[in-house]
Structure 1
């Protein structure tokens, strides 16, 4: 509550303490407005504002005169504030022409403000963060979170906790846990050299239609309101969603609906190239998966690959090798991997860093016949940065369907830097398709890229030549 007896400069409009302000071309403008007051009459008055470094008080933007109004209100825009921080915004009141500003009348201050990039967190529970168990992932100055109570703060887990929330639309029913995005922001901050702000809008269990304004759109509208309250613009979106669409009705249209959502978000957020960093679904280990369940999960993972391939400025990283805390939620250890993978994708595609971020992706599958008359497949992966390695027992990572049904795989082995040889127990009949790690809970020991130790992206129904 503001003290009505206060003298000097009062800031009524401006960023909150701990706010991160979205930079553009390395700088930002900060607008302030408010009132001034004195307990005695003065002949002349002038409000001034400046920005200094929080850690050293070195001047960043010199004292700047505000525009004064007769009702004792004032406003000023501090221009060309460089990306960086943390900064302190100071105000003071110069009266009766006093030139000794160090002894000017007091003014309000705003602390721990950064100029950097804002990333919107959207999706369902693995975006909101449900990792359980201890891990060293401590808060860090310069990585800040716009919390559900409408206040900026240092980013700390859990991100989607709902104390004094202003947004019932994305309130969790139970307490969430660890999120991938402190690790994401930490790597971005280290490599870019300026602060990162995170804007939490995710909700556990939410289907794509809740985020798509062309369908239900409830969480989409909530996201727009939160982004507006956080400053109105963002550098990009980090997205982890899809489990709730793993059903026959919605899986087949996932890519089409995701693309429509992205296009509308870009229009409404005023950035036709707004980046989306996305994650291909991890596994769901609950017992009792049916063939329909397995194929629905395989279809959604494949649709996520299609969406990333066909939608500009969308990246995709795997999560299938990451440990879980329960049947479906990534553990803190898994979240650290996922967050850093997403950060590397963003560093390469958004910030222009020379980082190999892509996971191997199926590029070609050819069939030939062995001496016994059975089919042998040669699978070639694109985007292998090093060479393929296998670190565990030979598990059924791959499956094949043709006109006669399932063709059983007898063995697979790495046959080259980026290729795998798959032996079948019979010859193929008619058009055939290869699947890789498509099931709801697929094999554990995937081949890995020796450069990144990431597994290939899962795929479903890739045509065999």
Structure 2
């Protein structure tokens, strides 16, 4: 048994299909952080994931075959961008894909620092992301960080500090996960700007400007457009079709980054 390089045992535990490992596999890991549009609030559909090649680190920090909802932040968690992101990458991936879902709906960027507590859920977004990612690193390497957040920081006093808050967050993540700064891509996504919304989108437009500024300042950051995407009816959350498209855009941005000269 000790000479076996890899052994995956499928275990039925409490109704959840999980994978136990004798030795870690060489997963391509992706850390998914931010708030509800990263976690996903889309209506479930019949989208099919390859559960043999795409795994998710669940709330118990065990690997299980990918299925939606990927996130588990709140009961409202539904379809998100992670599934189409992973499926778009899969044909060109040499390894299994491991998704690390750590987004928490409603969180301000101020909650994404060590020790900070999200008052709505009582969770510690940053600390939990570090704990989940550290466990995942036993099974592979983090290939990219995916971030979608900002809806909770559209007030003028917050948009003015968003850039420095984000840069500090990335500095902390790299340090606490042992990642060389700038060595992996960070993909961020624009907030939705929807027609017929009136003036309520101005704060989100400012956050989008900051996201593009970050991408200009740091070569490892890429900002994905939300142009043409639709909402579920609340002018905040992307609908299912838009989340599928946004996931593909994240994957395409990552591919362009990793193949550029």
1:366-377 aligned within 5 A: none
Match of 1:235 in 2: 143
Match of 1:393 in 2: none
Match of 1:191 in 2: 92
Match of 2:15 in 1: none
Q: Distance in 1 between matches of 2:146 and 2:41?
A: 16
Give the CA deviation at 1:210.
1.0
Match of 1:223 in 2: 129
Give the CA deviation at 1:283.
2.9
Contact 1:178 1:332 in 2 (8 A): yes
Give the CA deviation at 1:134.
2.2
Match of 2:27 in 1: 116
Q: Distance in 2 between matches of 1:261 and 1:141?
A: 33
SS at match of 1:48: coil
Give the CA deviation at 1:323.
2.3
In structure 1, list runs of 5 or more residues that go unmatched.
Answer: 1-46, 52-86, 91-108, 162-170, 355-465
Match of 2:64 in 1: 153
SS at match of 1:49: coil
> Does residue 208 in structure 1 map to residue 109 in structure 2?
yes
In structure 2, list runs of 5 or more residues that go unmatched.
Answer: 10-19, 119-123
Contact 1:208 1:245 in 2 (8 A): yes
Q: Distance in 2 between matches of 1:211 and 1:259?
A: 12
Match of 1:359 in 2: none
Give the CA deviation at 1:130.
0.8
Q: How many residues align?
A: 241
> Does residue 127 in structure 1 map to residue 28 in structure 2?
no
Match of 2:174 in 1: 266
Give the CA deviation at 1:254.
1.2
Indicate how the Cα distance of structure 1 residues 88 and 48 shifts in structure 2: closer, same or farther if over 3 A, else same.
Answer: closer
Superimposed CA distance per residue, residues 276-319 of structure 1 (whole angstroms, 9 cap, x where no aligned partner): 111011136796x54xx443222111011101111231111111
Give the CA deviation at 1:256.
1.9
Match of 2:220 in 1: 313
SS at match of 2:215: helix
Q: Distance in 2 between matches of 1:144 and 1:283?
A: 32
> Does residue 176 in structure 1 map to residue 176 in structure 2?
no
Indicate how the Cα distance of structure 1 residues 286 and 199 shifts in structure 2: closer, same or farther if over 3 A, else same.
Answer: farther
CA RMSD of aligned residues (A): 2.7
Considering fraction of residues, name the structure with more helix: 2
SS at match of 1:117: strand
Considering fraction of residues, name the structure with more strand: 1
Contact 1:256 1:307 in 2 (8 A): no
Contact 2:194 2:231 in 1 (8 A): no
Contact 1:137 1:183 in 2 (8 A): no
Contact 1:123 1:241 in 2 (8 A): yes
Indicate how the Cα distance of structure 1 residues 213 and 304 shifts in structure 2: closer, same or farther if over 3 A, else same.
Answer: farther
> Larger RCO: Structure 1 or Structure 2 (Cα < 8 Å, ≥ 6 residues apart)?
2
Match of 1:338 in 2: 246
Q: Distance in 1 between matches of 2:253 and 2:219?
A: 14
Superimposed CA distance per residue, residues 336-366 of structure 1 (whole angstroms, 9 cap, x where no aligned partner): 111111111111213x268xxxxxxxxxxxx
TM-score under structure 1 normalisation? 0.48
Structure (1 or 2) with the larger CA radius of gyration: 1
Superimposed CA distance per residue, residues 133-153 of structure 1 (whole angstroms, 9 cap, x where no aligned partner): 424243432100001122210
Contact 2:29 2:136 in 1 (8 A): no
Superposition misfits of 4+ residues, deviation over 6 angstroms? 214-217
Superimposed CA distance per residue, residues 96-121 of structure 1 (whole angstroms, 9 cap, x where no aligned partner): xxxxxxxxxxxxx8489742310011
* Aligned mate of 1:256, from 146, 164, 169: 164
Superimposed CA distance per residue, residues 413-461 of structure 1 (whole angstroms, 9 cap, x where no aligned partner): xxxxxxxxxxxxxxxxxxxxxxxxxxxxxxxxxxxxxxxxxxxxxxxxx
TM-score under structure 2 normalisation? 0.82
Give the CA deviation at 1:261.
1.1
1:6-25 aligned within 5 A: none
Match of 1:304 in 2: 211
